[in-house]
Structure 1
Amino acid sequence: MATHAAYDAGTTATEVAAAFADQIKGRNVVVTGISPASIGYTTVMAIAAHGPANLILASRTQAKLDAVTADIRKAHPEVTVHQVSLDLADVNSVRKAAASVAAVVDRVDVLINNAGISTPERLSAKAPNGTEVDGQFLTNHLGVFLWTALLLPLLRTAAASRPARVVNLTSQGHHLSPVRFSDYAFRQGLYNVPADEKPRDGLPPFFVKTIDGYPGFLGYGQSKTANILHATELARRLKASAHPEDSQISVFSVHPGTIETELSRSLDAEGQETIAKTAPKGLWKTQDQGAATTLVAAFDPALKEADVAGGAVVGYLSDCQLRDDMVAEHAKGADKAKRLWTESEKLLQFTVDL
């Protein structure tokens, strides 16, 4: 369980960072997906306020990195900030970015995989092994999978002296779609796949809309399911690893909530109404509230993963609390998590050192 039972949907990242300031001070923290007016921005600003040793910002847009870096240095000039160019859809960029991190720090105490995309239109893509995949799956899962694996040596170094953390940003949007192992690219239509890969029954029509045959929200849902299964299997393998320090690396997945962003504000009236219904009592979170759960997952020393034996979800947080009960059945189970891990290694042509 988390330390602060009173934390809920209204809790802010500012509050959480202050509560766990001693866990932030002196740590090396890597955060992806940094841009102004985003929860990534709020996340790093809250962390910067409490003296991390190094704050490493990774994003694909240099202008956004520069803007956020400038704000941190203005508010907290004592904080050492490093910039890393990272495009999760490009395997070569992921490799170069991981090398860039290793060039500036010798350990990573906390890795926050905040970056992700959501698009209604098809982004055609191929995995390194030539398999066609959805662009959202490539960016939101395969890129994150490889990036995290490449940073494992630095996480191990940190964990040799103090517990380390990996946090995957996912979403309740994972309920929209399982991982479609037979059709990662959504080329076979919505329902022409095995029963356990179909979208769940009764989805609002807005979520199954297609553009040129592509259901953007289902593509997003598949990638968010993958984020949870990745966290589950990574945690299981770390606990079973021959590296003694691996047992000191904890992994969590986080649902930040329904948040007011540029993306949500660009939705049409039907979209606004549909998304609002997914929020408790129809309330949208602020950016500060939206980043709070990430910081609990990253820094609360009392937070413990669930027992992964039997394939339980490792640790899914929502509104600053562990809420594995909110996870869809298709995002649970050892078999699914192991299968996704194995398939991800095949797609990437990369074997994780675990």
Structure 2
Amino acid sequence: MATSHPEFNRDTEGLDVAKAFSDGIRNKTIIVTGVNRGGVGFSTSQAFATQSPACLILAGRNLHKIQECIDAVKQDLPHVSYRALKIDLSSQKSVRAAAAEVLSWSEVPTIDIVVNNAGVMCVPERTLSVDGLEMHFATNHIGHWLLTCLIMPKLIKSAEGKPKGTTRIVNVSSLSPTVATMRWSDINFDKPNKELPEAEQPPYAMLEAWGFSDCRDRSYVPLDGYNRSKVANVLFGIGANERLYGKHGILSLAVHPGIIQTELGRDFDEEQLAALAGMRTKGIFIHQTLGAGASTSLVAALDPKLKPGETINGKENYGSFLVDCQISDSATALAVSSSEAERLWVLSENLVKERFSW
């Protein structure tokens, strides 16, 4: 399995991807979550808007910020229909209200592409959501998973009579799946890390490189909370394909968008900022433009060559995770495991107290 454009890479701009796959955008209805002017959600929305979608739904917590984004894109591209959707992904009640609003829009009968882009990173202290879940997991995984499941009737409607893989769900992950796994035995970070089963212990060297200390004795390390939720983003896609691709032709993929300076790092403290500066000096991290931060999501949303992951050379779900606009096999085995994906799906249903079958 390969992509249509092997020449696309970490420096490719989202706009160029949108132009290459303009047929996949024209007259489509697209949702992008986590949209604010300084973020990847904005550049992703902007790139989609250039190729005449029927409707672009921008979702986020702050309607004022979303409207700012709509106004900015509309200035250059006034012919697209834009909608703002208020959603707090950390609250299941808010997610349910937003999904009900989307389902109520009779003039928006289908949803063709969902880009689950919003996220929180490195919440300084262990924080539980209103539903009692660790904040990264609640926001980055459960909120997106629940929203997608609830609006599924409109995705299924979109997929009817079209080639398989036309309707898509894209989960914006990170590089976390290349180093991390799920924390099944302690999803709310109550136990010290050293007491976890070996397979669930965090990548200590990586956390220390980011400026965190005493990681074995701590139960919550901010970056570890983020990492686990980003593994869930990949497993969500694998579980979704199992349920949706064969029956409805809906394809779900996860991506690492790149290293981009956005508000996502707003909670870094002095240790993390110093560690990051050091990694940049050594060339470990090289910043990409906001436009380049959109490109891998657009490839995942649009490239007709992509399909559900396959087992290749004993590696499960090769093709389910993209980096730098190309398929990547860099995720840990447990971050792309079908059995881990099933386990996450069941846990997610239990946590929202609802079963989904389509």
Q: Same fold (TM over 0.5)?
A: yes
Matched, 1:111 2:114: yes
Judging changes above 3 Å, is the alpha-carbon distance between structure 1 residues 313 and 14 closer, same or farther for their aligned structure 2 residues? same
Q: CA deviation at 1:126?
A: 5.7
Q: Is the 8 A contact 2:61 2:88 kept in 1?
A: yes
Counterpart Cα distance in 2 of 1:125 and 1:263: 18
Q: 1:329 to 1:191 in 2, by over 3 A?
A: farther
Distance 1:209 1:52, change over 3 A: farther
Q: Which residue pairs with 2:222 in the alignment?
A: 216
With over 3 angstroms needed to count, the CA separation of the structure-2 counterparts of 1:62 and 1:161, relative to structure 1, is same
1:338 is aligned with what amino acid?
E
Distance of 2:349 and 2:266 partners within structure 1: 37
Indicate whether 1:306 and 2:312 are aligned. no
Assess, with a 3 A threshold, how the Cα gap between structure 1 residues 14 and 273 changes in structure 2: closer, same or farther. farther
Instruction: Tell which deviates more after alignment, 267-276 or 232-241.
Output: 267-276
Runs of 4+ in 1 over 6 A off after TM superposition: none
Q: Does 1:327 align with 2:328?
A: no
**Which residue is 2:140 aligned to?**
140
Offset at residue 210 of structure 1 (A)? 7.6
The answer to which of 90-99 and 258-267 deviates more is: 258-267
Alignment check: 8 A CA contact 1:308 1:314 kept: no
Q: Which moved more, 1:147-156 or 1:326-335?
A: 326-335
How far 1:302 moved relative to its partner?
Answer: 2.1
CA contact (8 A) 2:172 2:233 kept: yes
TM superposition shift of 1:273: 5.4
1:83 maps to a residue whose letter is A
Work out whether residues 136 and 219 of structure 1, in 8 Å CA contact, stay in contact via their aligned partners in 2.
yes
Q: For residue 231 of structure 1, what is the aligned residue in structure 2?
A: 237
Q: TM-score, normalised by structure 2?
A: 0.89
Q: Deviations over 1:172-219 (max 9, x none)?
A: 123454221111111101221122211135324136448985311000
Change (3 A) 1:89 1:238: same
Identity %: 33
Gaps of 5+ in 2: none
Q: Do 1:24 and 1:51's aligned partners in 2 also have CA atoms closer than 8 Å? A: yes
Report 1:27-176 matches (<5 A): 27-104=28-105, 105-118=108-121, 119-125=123-129, 127=131, 132-162=132-162, 163-176=166-179
Instruction: Give CA deviations for 1:49-93 in whole Å, capped at 9, x if unaligned.
Output: 110001011111111111011112211111100111111111111
Q: Determine the C-alpha separation between the residues in 1 that align with 2:219 and 2:185.
A: 17
Whether the aligned pair in 2 keeps the contact of 1:95 and 1:150 (CA below 8 Å) is: yes
1:286: which partner in 2? 289
How far did 1:351 drift? 0.6
| Contact residue 172 and residue 255 of structure 2 kept, 8 A | yes
Assess if the C-alpha contact under 8 Å between 1:229 and 1:337 holds in 2: yes
Question: Bigger CA drift: 27-36 or 69-78?
Answer: 69-78
What's the offset of the Cα at 1:103? 2.5
| Deviations 1:129-166, CA, capped at 9 Å, x for gaps | xxx43111011111111111012111110100332010
Which of 340, 344, 350 does residue 348 from structure 2 map onto?
344
RMSD over aligned CA atoms reads: 2.3
TM-score by length of 1: 0.90
Say if 1:264 and 1:272, in contact at 8 Å, map to a contact too.
no
CA contact (8 A) 2:90 2:130 kept: no
> Contact 1:209–1:216 (CA<8 Å) still a contact in 2?
no
Letter in 2 for 1:169: V
Give the AA of the match of 1:96. Answer: A
Contact 1:176 1:218 in 2 (8 A): no
Pairwise CA distance, 1:15: 0.9
CA contact (8 A) 1:180 1:197 kept: yes
* Paired residue type of 1:321: Q
CA contact (8 A) 2:180 2:202 kept: yes
Aligned counterparts of 1:250 and 1:207: Cα–Cα separation in 2: 38
